[in-house]
Amino acid sequence: MGKVTLKPLADRVIIEPMAAETKTASGLYIPDTAQEKPQKGKIIAVGEGTKDEEMKVKEGDLVLYGKYAGTEVSIDNVKYLIMRQSDILAIIEEK
């Protein structure tokens, strides 16, 4: 099997979630069982949108999304989320 490429349809995006925090600000390590599911990720691919909804996000954007948003898929041992653009809560802009 060759290299797999994902291309989302309509108003869907593919997100690579950021790693969960393993250490608190005070330096304590968080065990795997207590780690929060990440809600931040990087957009890997964007669909073309629909006639009613244009895509406002683009590849490379860092975004925040709902805790239970999207469908998790695993390709080549890498986990991705596929979700609608409307499930994205915000774009993170660094200044």
Query: What structural domains and CATH numbers belong to the chain?
Result: 12-92 (2.30.33.40)
Which letter, b or e, does each residue of 56-69 get, where b requires 16 or more Cβ atoms within 10 Å of its Cβ? eeeeebebebeeeb
pLDDT 10s digits, 9-63: 999 999 999 887 677 778 777 776 766 677 899 999 999 999 998 999 999 999 9
Q: Specify the pTM.
A: 0.80
Nearest to 82 by CA among 62, 95, 65, 94: 65
